[in-house]
Chain A
Amino acid sequence: MADYPVAKTTDITPGRTLRVVVDGTEVLLCNVDGAIYAIEDVCTHDGAPLDQGELEECRIVCPRHGAEFDVRTGEVLKLPAVMPLPTYSVRIEDDNVYVDV
């Protein structure tokens, strides 16, 4: 667990995402109805970032080829991606967000 806060909860409103770098890893924080989840910010299909993609409920849609992942589990929901996304555990203290990479 990175022992420093990577974001404020107020930085990510529900339905929005925020890209942060935690100990050298690109992480995408996703707010699903108030709960914050962390996934690696790399689409497993083409290896490029997901942060420009839309977050629809718990699904993040890759902006380039339309692959979809469940941000809670990293599971692939739609091709052309076939490999799941790495996910990280998130801890909230006060309004600080900590991510375990």
Chain B
Amino acid sequence: MATQLKTAPIGGEYEHGFHDPENYVFQSGKGLTREIVANISELKNEPGWMRDFRLKALDIFLSKPMPWWGDTQRLAEIDFDNIQYFVRASDRAEKSWDDVPEDIKKTFDKLGIPEAERKFLSGVSAQYESEVVYHSIRKDLEDLGVIFCDMDTAVREYPEIVKKYFSTVIPPADNKFAALNSAVWSGGSFAYVPAGVEVKTPLQAYFRINSENMGQFERTLLIAEPGAKFHYTEGCTAPKFSSSSLHSAVVELIAQEGSTIRYTTIQNWYKNIFNLVTKRAVAYKNATVEWVDGNLGSRLTMKYPAIYLMGEGARGTILSMAVGGEGQHQDAGAKVIHAAPNTTSVITNKSLSAHGGKTTYRGLVEIMPNAVNSRTHVKCDAIIMDEESSSDTKPTMKVHEQQSTVEHEASVSKISEEQLFYAMSRGLSEADARGLIVNGFFDFFVKELPMEYAVELNRLIKMEMEGSVG
């Protein structure tokens, strides 16, 4: 296959590196104090319980040490006093595309959001800086009782549902970055699908960081009532910056009895961004949760989508892929806790490192006592493109129940000479042959994506490949 794109190698000039002039309604200034946190809450007209929640989370954040594990050397580069925690780009979330300010629209045009709208996907909400500026939901979904809006709106308009579920899956004390998010969160998606309702087309949101040194702390909460079924997708691309930006999201998924949630995300950050995200789902009886997670770019990504299988017969699937290029470390993985009988999980993780990049698979599967007849299958494969790059696999299995099945397979390889020789004997150039093999390697992931994402990801992988064979 041909790789036609004229793009720079991994870590070179960034194709999505455009940068709009900054023109904001409100900026919080750098650093983090109780006043700033209280201010954020006040500006958003939040109820008292959310303000108290934020302030308490701030105390937890300040008292918690940085993680002692993982890439501590890179984590130490984060300067919390040099980050702006809140920027508001527009006074209110807009309903109609025509009302969205022009420069924001331009950014979204470059990202292809209007196309998504034209294609009449279920709902589009896009986060630009800290708050969602554009949001729409299809009328027929609204009639079924589906709620899909930005998190700030949800706190104001659906306080009962939000209060019932907010932070029940990820408490602020879970880790330092979850605490930080809890204190300063802004934007993110909220979806609530009532019992028995199936949403056939994906709910979509798009995230992007624009302001330099801007932290983005979106908060997403998705709830499927018993028997409900939906698919949520989000993507991230970020423009290039000269100094480090921090992205730290918290994503909570609640799948009630017999429901299904699929969460698809592709993250493509510029190489100076720290992407430290906490994602966790809980699946009750016979519920299914699927994470489909693609990681490209960033200085350091630490992300381990988790599924807590709390009810009998619950199922969890985590598919993830990572590409670590020059100066990047993709520390990604997966976590499944089997806390009930007859639960099953499948984890498939594939990564590629090139140009001195590093990938790490860090995973945990824990089978609790009494989780009888639980089954898990973990597969992690890595391709290392050259001698400067590296890959680590750290799969942890804790099995407390003997009557369970645990499988693990892993491979680390380079692109095999035999495969190359075969493909080249069919008339492909070496570069094309490598591209073909790498696309095949990631095919398990790409084929699970909605069409627009599959196209985008294939393009990105091609770009990365072009660099890595130069």
Contact = CB atoms under 8 A, between A and B. Distances in A.
Interface stretch (A8-16, A30-38, A79-87): A79-87
Interface string A32-65: 0000000000000000000000000000011111
B308 interface: yes
A68 interface: yes
Contacts of A80: 171, 174, 280, 308
A91 interface: no
Contact of A65 (B175, B282, B369): B175
Contacts of B310: 82
A68 B169 CA distance: 11
B173 interface: yes
A75 to B, nearest CB: 13
A66 B173 contact: yes
B314 to A, nearest CB: 12
Contacts, number: 37
Contacts of B280: 79-80
B337 to A, nearest CB: 6
Contacts of B60: 66
B171 A66 contact: yes
A66 to B, nearest CB: 3
Interface in B157-189: 168-175
A94 to B, nearest CB: 38
Contact of B368 (A61, A79, A83): A83
Contacts of B332: none
B250 to A, nearest CB: 12
A78 B175 CA distance: 15
Chain B interface residue number, banded = 10 to 19
Q: Of B168, B174, B282, which is in contact with the most chain A CB atoms at under 10 Å from its CB? A: B174
A78 B339 contact: no
B168 A78 contact: yes
A79 B369 contact: no
Contacts of A64: 173
Contact of B308 (A61, A66, A68, A79): A79
A79 B282 contact: yes
A67 interface: yes
Contacts of A82: 308, 310, 337, 339, 368
A68 B173 CA distance: 11
A80 B339 CA distance: 11
Contacts of B368: 82-83
A67 B339 contact: no
A80 B252 CA distance: 12
Contacts of A63: 173
A50 to B, nearest CB: 12
A68 B167 CA distance: 12
A63 B308 CA distance: 21
A83 B401 CA distance: 13
B171 A79 contact: yes
Nearest to A64: B173
A68 B171 contact: yes
Contacts of A83: 339, 368-369
A65 B278 CA distance: 13
Nearest to A62: B173
Nearest to B169: A79
Nearest to B171: A66
Interface string B300-320: 000000001010000000000
A49 to B, nearest CB: 15
B174 A66 contact: yes
Nearest to B369: A83
B299 to A, nearest CB: 26
A78 B308 contact: no
B396 to A, nearest CB: 14
Contacts of A67: 171
B8 to A, nearest CB: 42
Identify which of A61, A79, A83 gathers the most chain B CB atoms within 10 Å of its CB: A79
Interface in B362-386: 368-369
Contacts of B170: 79
Contacts of B168: 78-79
B175 to A, nearest CB: 7
A78 B171 contact: yes
Interface of A: 61-68, 78-80, 82-83
Nearest 4 Cβ contacts at the A-B interface: A66-B171, A66-B173, A82-B339, A65-B174
19 contacts: A62-B173, A64-B173, A66-B60, A66-B172, A66-B173, A66-B174, A67-B171, A78-B168, A78-B171, A79-B170, A79-B280, A80-B171, A80-B174, A80-B280, A82-B310, A82-B339, A83-B339, A83-B368, A83-B369
Given A66-B173, A78-B171, 20 more contacts: A62-B173, A63-B173, A64-B173, A65-B171, A65-B174, A65-B175, A66-B172, A66-B174, A67-B171, A68-B171, A78-B168, A79-B169, A79-B170, A79-B308, A80-B171, A80-B280, A82-B308, A82-B310, A82-B337, A83-B369
